[in-house]
Structure 1
Amino acid sequence: MSPSAPASLDVVFAALSDPTRRAVVERLRLGPATMTELATPLSATLPALTKHLAVLERAGLVTTAKRGRQRFCALTAAPLRDAAAWLAEYAAYWDERLDALTGYLKENP
């Protein structure tokens, strides 16, 4: 991971801390969507969705492109991969600790 990764992770995790933004990311996992397609199931207004998308764009999680009158949104996977890699390091740490605890408890009932 690059030296700048922790700062970028802060932005990614902050963006994902909101349930509406997580729902947008979840929907975009299925493929690109227009803002209207994103707003409808969330019962979000377009201005509110625009604010959420701006946060996701700043985090590098979403890109938007205007085609005609519609704005299409797409998921960008790289920041999610970085966050998953960071979390995986801690998962390995805790797996080792829990395995050691399990071994200790088996030896010392």
Structure 2
Amino acid sequence: MLAALTIATAVAALVLAAWCGFAAYRDQPTKDWHFIGMAVVTVLTLVQLVVGIVQLARGEEPEQGTTLFVAYLVGSAACVPAAGFLSLAERTRWGSVTVAAAGVVLAVLQVRLYDIWGG
């Protein structure tokens, strides 16, 4: 697994979490620029998904099992988009809180992905 991509994704997720957390603190819902940030983080997770699948196709093996690794990859890719859809349904500060929480969860998932791969 590419450590640089994992670190970049985790940092971007934490930046998104801080940004949306600040919006929630100011009692604001998610705005269009928050969705641009979510799109950037989602693109990073999709790139990570493709890189992980390519490495598995090459015959590389994660240390803790392929099934667990793929499950975490798919969960990471779905985390922020799911929170984005929930924040569209909840157009109050709690939508921003939802995205902030998803950013923190994604950062934790990145640490776990690195551990599963054998980092």
What range describes the TM-score normalised by the shorter chain of this pair? 0.3 to 0.5
| Higher alpha-carbon Rg | 1
Higher helix share: 2
TM-score scaled to structure 1, two decimals?
0.37
TM-score scaled to structure 2, two decimals?
0.35
Larger RCO of the pair (alpha carbons < 8 Å, separation 6+): 2
